[in-house]
């Protein structure tokens, strides 16, 4: 894959075209060539990116500088100053004003706009997580006050449905719809549960929210309880997250003292009690029915579904289970409204997504970006590019239940629908970014080893299938496999997907399907040539990859 030092985008919506964006584009092509930059800088047209007042726009990444309106005669200065000499041309920048959506986000990160466009991580890193006053100063509990004072449960649910919020725990189920199911379910006793088990390898976004802004989860759960008619709630926090547990514990006590939890919240008749339940380190307990079993004091083994937790959950009662990040969106949506929420992200996946970036990139860490941003943008802008000397090969999303994203999908918008159309999944929010030194067979082997160990063993397809797949992958890495084994792998994957009881088994075969779809030649090289093209697998008997290639050349 070709790497560029900068990326230039020209807006190409009807209004921009009318105002001459095509001519700007042509002129940019000429000027970039005139300075000999065509191999360093990529130039492309993009569709509507907002800011119609300043159309046509020219945006330069990774600096995320927005220029506009740009006429052909401005192009020379822009190329000479910014692209050649690396100096921002302040005079040509689009006026800084209220901006929404992805551009707002990018410039917010550059410090040109206040960073308050963060939604989920709005307060993380800004407030003292142990101070309820700090939370209140930053609009904390205002949504709860508004909900209890002015809204009926049905209004809350309908606002959430309008917002289009979808679950961030992996499956992307519409949150408002789930709340409605629980509220409509029969039963006097209902529960709400926050899933803070976060055990996907490499994911730690939920921990950041719990540690940095614990009250936001308390507020969201109390709102949820009011909306669905629950009086008890549990936060199921992964056992290793001791700091998150401590902070949450203290936050609950403070919230109780001030009347945000307990009896007669905000002076109303509504009561809600919240408890912390510590997990004990099993990945499978993140699956919602295993989690419920675990709270009931039983081994964490997923139940058969249906019935779903929305009608038969904790102690057999209707139960709402939501992920931490999903819940963290709730107070902001109710405070500012569904329409505001739609100003971020894409129409079918509004809002933002928090990602944990890992791997062969210059900057690793956590970012919150609007839905619909591309992997290329995340790598270029937030991860500050691939590490020196390495180029992008693939990314693995969402810890182990995610997908393998090859470079051909780097420009696919990262939202639920675009990704599912492309046959991949966003997963839970980890982005393991790998370079050409990563062997796809080895990667799949590591993942399958994880599933094999973490399978609860309740059902055969998963218990035996993950083990068999792991064994076959091992023989491939040793150069001992045959091409028939690849068919067996695909068959195992389809059995896993069709016959497993829970999400673990159902998605365990995904990496197998993905690597055979996108990297079949590389897998076959292990078998036909007994060579690991990435130089990772130690073949038995050992043959030096280069020698082998020469023999065949």
Ligand X SMILES: Cc1cc2nc3c(=O)[nH]c(=O)nc-3n(C[C@H](O)[C@H](O)[C@H](O)COP(=O)(O)O)c2cc1C
Considering only 55, 338, 447, 502, the residue that binds ligand SF4 (CB under 6 A) is: 502
Q: 42 vs 500, which CB is nearer to ligand X?
A: 500
Q: Does 424 bind ligand SF4 (CB under 6 A)?
A: no
Q: Does 125 bind another protein (CB under 8 A)?
A: yes
Q: Does 198 bind ligand X (CB under 6 A)?
A: yes
Q: Does 149 bind another protein (CB under 8 A)?
A: yes
Residue with tokens 């726009």: 57
User: Could you tell me if 175 and 183 are in contact, meaning their C-beta atoms sit under 8 angstroms apart?
Assistant: no
Q: 34 vs 280, which CB is nearer to ligand SF4?
A: 280
Which of ligand SF4, ligand X, another protein, none binds 352 (CB below 5-8 Å, type-dependent)? none
CA distance 120 to 142: 16
Q: Does 456 bind ligand SF4 (CB under 6 A)?
A: yes
Q: Does 227 bind ligand X (CB under 6 A)?
A: no
Q: Does 455 bind ligand SF4 (CB under 6 A)?
A: yes
The 301-320 contact track toward ligand SF4, x by CB under 6 A, reads: -x------------------
- The upper half-sphere exposure of residue 433, i.e. CA atoms within 13 Å in the direction of its Cβ, equals 29
The 306-345 contact track toward ligand X, x by CB under 6 A, reads: ---------------xxx--x-------------------
Which of ligand X, ligand SF4, another protein, none binds 241 (CB below 5-8 Å, type-dependent)? another protein
List CB contacts of 200: < 8 A, sequence separation 6 or more.
Answer: 283, 286, 398, 399, 400, 401, 427, 428, 430
Residue with tokens 């329409």: 339
Which of ligand X, ligand SF4, another protein, none binds 134 (CB below 5-8 Å, type-dependent)? another protein
Q: Does 502 bind ligand X (CB under 6 A)?
A: yes
Closest separation in Å from C-beta 199 to ligand X: 5
CA distance 69 to 48: 14
How crowded is residue 407: how many other Cβ atoms within 10 Å of its Cβ? 15
CA distance 474 to 178: 41
Q: Does 286 bind ligand SF4 (CB under 6 A)?
A: no
Q: Does 241 bind another protein (CB under 8 A)?
A: yes
CA distance 356 to 434: 14
Which of another protein, ligand X, ligand SF4, none binds 457 (CB below 5-8 Å, type-dependent)? ligand SF4
Q: Does 463 bind ligand SF4 (CB under 6 A)?
A: yes
Which of ligand SF4, another protein, ligand X, none binds 363 (CB below 5-8 Å, type-dependent)? another protein
How crowded is residue 507: how many other Cβ atoms within 10 Å of its Cβ? 22
Which of ligand X, ligand SF4, another protein, none binds 286 (CB below 5-8 Å, type-dependent)? ligand X
How crowded is residue 425: how many other Cβ atoms within 10 Å of its Cβ? 20
CA distance 543 to 549: 10
Q: Does 195 bind ligand X (CB under 6 A)?
A: yes
**Total number of residues binding ligand X (CB under 6 A)?**
22
Q: 360 vs 455, which CB is nearer to ligand SF4?
A: 455
Reference 216, options 281, 122, 316; nearest CA is: 122
Stretch that binds ligand SF4, among 74-82, 370-378, 383-391, 496-504 (CB under 6 A): 496-504
List CB contacts of 118: < 8 A, sequence separation 6 or more.
Answer: 108, 352, 368
Bridging pattern class, strands 273-278 and 392-397: unpaired
Q: Residue 521 is encoded by which pair of tokens?
A: 């030649």
Helix (H) or strand (E) holding 277: strand 273-278
Helix (H) or strand (E) holding 339: helix 338-341
Q: Does 352 bind ligand X (CB under 6 A)?
A: no
Q: Residue 498 is encoded by which pair of tokens?
A: 């069709």
Reference 367, options 331, 414, 423; nearest CA is: 414
Q: Does 197 bind ligand X (CB under 6 A)?
A: yes
Closest separation in Å from C-beta 142 to another protein: 7
What single string gives the DSSP state of each residue in 48-90? --S-GGGPSPEEEETTTEEE-S--GGGHHHHIIIIIIT----G
Q: Does 351 bind ligand X (CB under 6 A)?
A: no
Q: Residue 374 is encoded by which pair of tokens?
A: 């591309």
Q: Does 350 bind another protein (CB under 8 A)?
A: no
Closest separation in Å from C-beta 60 to another protein: 17
CA distance 538 to 474: 11
Reference 349, options 163, 102, 155, 105; nearest CA is: 163
Considering only 267, 281, 347, 457, the residue that binds another protein (CB under 8 A) is: 267
Q: Does 512 bind another protein (CB under 8 A)?
A: no
User: Could you tell me if 279 and 153 are in contact, meaning their C-beta atoms sit under 8 angstroms apart?
Assistant: no
Q: Residue 234 is encoded by which pair of tokens?
A: 């549990």
Closest separation in Å from C-beta 407 to ligand X: 28
Considering only 67, 141, 270, 470, the residue that binds another protein (CB under 8 A) is: 141
DSSP code of residue 240:
T
Contact residues toward ligand X (CB under 6 A) are 167-171, 173, 195, 197-200, 284, 286-288, 321-323, 326, 502-504
Contact residues toward ligand SF4 (CB under 6 A) are 284, 302, 455-459, 462-463, 500-502, 504-505
Contact residues toward another protein (CB under 8 A) are 109, 111, 121, 123-130, 132-134, 136-137, 141-142, 145-146, 149, 204, 207-208, 211-213, 241, 243-244, 254, 257-260, 266-267, 363-368
């Amino acid at each position: 894959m070709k790497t560029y030092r900068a990326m230039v985008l020209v807006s190409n919506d009807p209004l921009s075209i009318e105002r001459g964006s095509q001519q700007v584009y042509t002129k940019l092509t000429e000027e970039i060539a005139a300075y000999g930059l065509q191999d360093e800088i990529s130039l492309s047209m993009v569709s509507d990116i907002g800011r119609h007042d300043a159309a046509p726009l020219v945006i330069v990444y990774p600096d995320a500088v927005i220029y506009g309106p740009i006429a052909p005669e401005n192009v020379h200065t822009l190329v000479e100053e910014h692209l050649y000499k690396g100096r921002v041309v302040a005079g040509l920048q689009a006026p800084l004003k209220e901006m929404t959506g992805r551009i707002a986000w990018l410039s917010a990160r550059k410090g040109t706009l206040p960073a308050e466009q963060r939604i989920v991580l709005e307060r993380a890193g800004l407030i003292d997580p142990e101070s309820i006053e700090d939370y209140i100063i930053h609009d904390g509990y205002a949504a709860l006050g508004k909900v209890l004072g002015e809204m009926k449960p049905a209004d809350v649910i309908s606002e959430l449905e309008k917002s289009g919020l979808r679950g961030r725990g992996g499956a992307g189920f519409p949150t408002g719809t789930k709340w409605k199911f629980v509220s409509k379910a029969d039963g006097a006793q209902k529960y709400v549960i926050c899933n803070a088990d976060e055990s996907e390898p490499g994911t730690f976004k939920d921990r950041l929210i719990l540690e940095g802004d614990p009250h936001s989860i308390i507020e969201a759960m109390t709102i949820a309880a009011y909306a669905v008619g629950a009086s008890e709630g549990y936060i199921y926090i992964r056992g290793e997250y001791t700091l998150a547990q401590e902070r949450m514990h203290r936050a609950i006590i403070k919230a109780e003292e001030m009347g945000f939890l307990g009896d007669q919240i905000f002076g109303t008749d509504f009561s809600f009690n919240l408890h912390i339940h510590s997990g004990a380190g099993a990945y499978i307990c993140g699956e919602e029915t295993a989690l419920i079993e675990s709270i009931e004091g039983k081994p964490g083994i997923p139940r058969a579904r249906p019935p779903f937790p929305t009608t038969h959950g904790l102690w057999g009662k209707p139960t709402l289970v939501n992920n931490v990040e999903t819940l963290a969106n709730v107070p902001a949506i109710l405070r500012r409204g569904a329409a505001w929420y739609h100003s971020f992200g894409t129409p079918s996946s509004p809002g933002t997504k928090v990602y944990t970036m890992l791997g062969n990139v210059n900057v690793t860490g956590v970012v919150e970006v609007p839905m619909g941003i591309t992997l290329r943008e995340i790598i270029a802008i937030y991860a500050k590019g691939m590490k020196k000397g390495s180029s992008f090969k693939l990314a693995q999303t969402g810890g182990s239940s995610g997908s393998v994203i090859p470079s051909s999908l780097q420009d696919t918008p990262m939202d639920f629908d675009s990704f599912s159309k492309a046959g991949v999944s966003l997963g839970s929010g980890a982005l393991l970014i790998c370079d050409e030194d990563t062997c796809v067979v080895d990667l799949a082997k590591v993942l399958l080893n994880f599933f094999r160990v973490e399978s609860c063993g309740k059902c055969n397809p998963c218990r035996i299938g993950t083990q068999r797949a792991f064994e076959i992958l091992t023989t491939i890495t040793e150069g001992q496999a045959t091409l028939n084994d690849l068919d067996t792998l695909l068959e195992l994957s389809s059995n896993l997907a069709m016959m497993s009881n829970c999400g673990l088994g159902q998605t365990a075969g995904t990496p197998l399907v993905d690597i055979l779809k996108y990297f079949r030649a590389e897998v076959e090289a292990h078998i036909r040539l007994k060579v690991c093209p990435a130089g990772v697998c130690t073949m038995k008997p050992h043959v030096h990859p280069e020698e082998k290639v020469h023999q065949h050349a």
